[in-house]
Amino acid sequence: MIGNLKELAISKGMQLLNSPMVAKAMESEQVGVVIEKAMSFPIKVSETIRTRKEQVTSFMEVATQSDLDEVKRTLARVEQELKSIKTTSDK
């Protein structure tokens, strides 16, 4: 289903790109500016959401998934060091 929609969107997009009206519009600097802003919009939105999420978690003093992942990595490293020390002391 999604594959069909993707193929349809691509074919319609190619038809639009071959249109002389679209080619003329693409020559306009204003259209280029609008396209640039439209393409950067999702990035700006995701950065804003990430920033707000960090602010809320910091304010509420809640651990994030990245915090938990860092704790897991640290714990695994400490366990490995303890295992190494135990092996060395057993010899």
Against a cut of 0.75, is the pTM above it?
no
Q: Alpha helices, DSSP H only, in 2-64?
A: 2-17, 20-26, 29-60
Q: Round to whole Å and give the CA distance between 78 and 46.
A: 35
Per-residue pLDDT band for 80 (boundaries 50, 70, 90) equals very high
Q: Are the beta carbons of 29 and 36 closer than 8 angstroms?
A: no
The H or E element spanning position 73 is helix 65-90
Is the model's pLDDT at 35 over the cut of 80?
Answer: yes
Is the model's pLDDT at 59 over the cut of 90?
Answer: yes
